[in-house]
Amino acid sequence: MKKRKCALLLMICMLTGIIGCGKPQQGEPADASEPQQGTAADTPDLPKGGKEEAGGTVQYDGEEMEMLRSGVNGFSYQLFERLEGEENVFFSPYSLCSALSLLNLGAGSETKVELDALLGITDIEAWNNAMRAYLETQWQDETFVLTANSIWMREGKEWSEGIEADFLKPAEEFYKSELYEEDFLGNPQEAVAKINKWAEDNTKGMIQEVLRELPINAAMLLMNAVYFEGKWETPFMEEDTFKEVFVGTTGGNEIEMMHQYGEYYAYIESEVTAGAVIKGIALPYKDSPLVMKIFLHDGRGEIASLFGALSIEEKEALLDSLDNAPKEKITRLVIPKFTMEQEIDGLNEILQAMGMKTAFDVQGADFDKIAEDLYVSQVLHKAKIEVDEQGTKAAAVTTIVTNDAAAPIEEEPIVFVADHPFIYVIQDTRTGMILFMGQVNHLE
């Protein structure tokens, strides 16, 4: 008799925020004088491969973190290439890789081999150690990244005999996952309400609804919330924000543009092909290693084709060059004040093209560590970002569903005017890991 397939839903809720948003923890917010911890759960144990420094901060294992950086950034560039076009782009590679890493804990055979290759995992223990170490990072009050995970299991479902040791324990150990059991079949509305409440609590109200109803035969939900809050080290003055024309791929529109004059930033000009120069600038966030790096074509040429023609190694070198660049006096800095929402469709096909094939295969998927005959049926990703004078606010939600079978010259003034398409990343310069990546092609 053919085994009956079950539905597994993995939902990853990712959020970044700014002013007025606190730690996504239950209970009272932390004292503003205390460093922000990188997880919404209590994490008294130190990550393997790391050691505690003065003040309780975590020192990363260099080799482990380098593998995580390489994997997340490589994934980011591959996905970005497949999303390029006329439309705007915004997503969180860190959150997507965190979600896929949680899924990977329950994978076996060829399914796991493909997930390892997609993520760039060569040592699974080292990868999970690095994920946990970053999750437990201590941050200052002005700028921080927080992560929360939860597992929602269907009450009465028959699970694998080894699910506790093979999946649930590693999920708690490395990803600090909270565990819930709900009556998906008898009272799905209550389960949905609790799931949405968890998302709202762990994103301080910015994401209030991740589900309207449970998918048919849903057996499990895996949820991950990533919350980022960042204020510019050098804020823009509101009186220096006024409308100017942004010339995008669909034409020109008057947009609120933020201006600074005579401030110092890391700045590069890189000739990537004969006569084609990419200009880059790094805008740091306060009291942190996090920066927003912006790249545009010198002049009004197309940035996408220039950036896309670079190899992964060349892209990494371009981003890294800003870390070592001297700070230059920027005579005039202009970037748009914008809000952007993105919904990325067709991630199933994109991830399969990137090598994640058997996870979507009804017959070939292996998630037997969780339950028999599970396969991924749908992957969705939504994201939102707001950039203003004080800093950056962004939110993203990813849903994975599985169902049953049915250098410049000083004498010359430097200007950096992002009034035409540009690529940007939010990157942790301490680890080199890209947390968010996007491209602005047009604004309205």
Q: What is the pLDDT of residue 35?
A: 60
Q: 331 with 346, same domain?
A: no
Give dist(CA 130, CA 307) in Å, integer: 29
pTM of this structure: 0.85
Q: 250 with 352, same domain?
A: no
Give dist(CA 436, CA 275) in Å, integer: 29
Q: What pLDDT, in 10s, does the model give residues 176-221?
A: 999 999 998 899 999 989 988 888 888 777 777 778 888 777 788 8
Range of the domain at 252: 238-336+409-440
Q: What pLDDT, in 10s, does the model give residues 355-411?
A: 999 988 878 889 899 888 777 776 767 677 878 899 886 766 666 655 444 433 345
Q: 71 with 106, same domain?
A: yes
Q: What is the pLDDT of residue 398?
A: 63
Q: 136 with 22, same domain?
A: yes
Q: 322 with 398, same domain?
A: no
Q: 114 with 202, same domain?
A: yes
Q: 264 with 200, same domain?
A: no
Give dist(CA 220, CA 11) in Å, integer: 9
Q: 277 with 144, same domain?
A: no
If pLDDT is split at 50, 70 and 90, which confidence band does 340 have?
confident
Question: 24: domain CATH number?
Answer: 3.30.497.10
* Number of domain units in the chain: 2
Q: 32 with 132, same domain?
A: yes
Q: 222 with 257, same domain?
A: no
Give dist(CA 139, CA 118) in Å, integer: 29
Please list, in sequence order, all residues whose beta carbon lies within 8 angstroms of the beta carbon of residue 108, skipping any fewer than 6 positions away: 366, 367, 368, 369
pLDDT for 93 beyond 70: yes
On whether residue 75 sits in a domain, the answer given is yes
Q: 45 with 144, same domain?
A: yes
Question: 277: domain CATH number?
Answer: 2.30.39.10
On whether residue 69 sits in a domain, the answer given is yes
Q: 311 with 283, same domain?
A: yes
